[in-house]
Amino acid sequence: MKPIDLRSDTVTLPTPSMREAIFHADLGDDVFEEDQPTRELEEKAARLTGTEAALLVSSGTMGNLVSLLTHGNRGDEIILGDQAHIFYYEVGGISALGGMIPHTVPNQPDGTIVLDDILYAIRDDNIHFPETRLLCLENTHNRCNGSPLTPAYMASVTEFAGNHGLKVHLDGARIFNAAVALGVPVTDLTAGCDSACFCLSKGLSAPIGSLVCGSHDFIDRARKIRKMLGGGMRQCGIISAAGIVAIEEMTKRLSEDHENAGLLAEGIARIPGLSVDPESVRTNIVFFDLVSDAIRDDVFEAELERRHIRMLRLGPSHFRAVTHHGITSDDIVTAIRTLEDIMT
């Protein structure tokens, strides 16, 4: 039996049209800026985000790191949410490689950061203090129920940051999920940001790659930082060809993932011993808790695996399930029935 893998939307595989595009890609050396599919992908990414230019990188982690190193200097302080992917899951790269200091402030349950919390985190001009250089936002916000940040919030926070001399970087790994959930173009969510990064290899099903987007000057500097990090790629059109298909085709089906996530949350909410708030599920990420004393969380996870259902245990009795291409509504029904069976 093929597993129903809900651990992450990174487990998606390239579609047949992606494989076909890879096979026929007209390749060149991208360090010499001669790879045609990469030029085309970067131009599409810039248009979609309303920026002047874009740069292909190997991953979202590299995209965020390249962006922050381009914006700041060693010893600079960066404000970001205490649930941010950059803070939690990127190996401390901004400090280890960039010498930058993360200053965390609370994320609200919907992924936003209260403006006053940002204000109080900004350092005064004082010889004892590092310089506050940058504010980082995340949309959708992974650890905050995959919540989309609205255009109104993005506009208010980017204006606020600009008024206080801060640059804004948007970790938009799942920005297309946010745009679909809110029914707005991506440009409504990137307007006012000084840089943005989005991922091709999550819900868009491409095998590799993220795009960093910003001004021409920013991308010129980011290209050199990418090279410093070992990210200068040669015939990377085999990546970009799949990325073009991802943008053109896979963005159009993300609402299916959102609907399946809603179905899953509603099903889990009906199972005694499991706890979830279906109203919190806006995109393709479902967090739920095991609240029964009748089964340990490691046994629960093992039982899921034994029955060919894969979910991610993030902490004591806390689980995540992510819907994506390849997961059908029938798979969701099977997953719910399996959960019911385990809990009874």
Tell me the per-residue pLDDT of 259-287, one tens digit each, with 9 for 90 and over: 999 999 999 999 999 999 999 999 999 99
Identify each DSSP E strand in 139-227 by its residue range: 167-171, 195-199, 210-214
What percentage of the chain exceeds 70 in pLDDT? Answer: 100
**pLDDT band at residue 2 using 50, 70 and 90 as cut-offs:** confident
Domain boundaries, the chain: 4-10+253-343, 13-249
Q: Tell me what pLDDT residue 298 has.
A: 94
Closest CA to 184 of 146, 152, 141: 152
pLDDT tens digits, one per residue of 225-251:
999 999 999 999 999 999 999 999 999
CATH number for the domain whose boundaries are 4-10+253-343: 3.90.1150.10
pLDDT tens digits, one per residue of 290-335:
999 999 999 999 999 999 999 999 999 999 999 999 999 999 999 9
pTM here is 0.95
Is the bond preceding 140 in cis, omega lying within 30 degrees of 0? Answer: yes
Q: Tell me what pLDDT residue 278 has.
A: 96
Q: Tell me what pLDDT residue 1 has.
A: 73
Q: Tell me what pLDDT residue 279 has.
A: 94
What percentage of the chain exceeds 90 in pLDDT? Answer: 99
Provide the 3-class DSSP secondary structure of residue 317. coil
Q: For residue 241, what are its two tokens?
A: 């060809």
Interior CA angle at 161 toward 160 and 165, to 5°? 120
User: Phi and psi at residue 40, in whole multiples of 5°?
Assistant: -65, -45
Rg (CA), the chain: 21
Q: Do domains 4-10+253-343 and 13-249 have the same CATH topology?
A: no
pLDDT tens digits, one per residue of 29-86:
999 999 999 999 999 999 999 999 999 999 999 999 999 999 999 999 999 999 999 9
CA–CA dist 182, 84 (Å, integer): 21
Fill in the amino acid letter for 266. Answer: E
Answer for the pair 141, 107: CB distance below 8 angstroms, yes or no. yes
Fill in the amino acid letter for 8. Answer: S
Fill in the amino acid letter for 86. Answer: I
Q: Tell me what pLDDT residue 243 has.
A: 98
Closest CA to 134 of 189, 86, 182: 86
Average pLDDT, rounded, for the chain: 96
CATH number for the domain whose boundaries are 13-249: 3.40.640.10
- E strand or H helix at 84, and its extent? none
Burial letters 188-209, b for 16+ CB under 10 A, else e: bbbbbbbbbbbbbbbbbbbbbb
pLDDT tens digits, one per residue of 57-71:
999 999 999 999 999
Q: What is the mean predicted confidence (pLDDT) over 132-150? A: 97
Answer for the pair 71, 197: CB distance below 8 angstroms, yes or no. no
**pLDDT band at residue 180 using 50, 70 and 90 as cut-offs:** very high
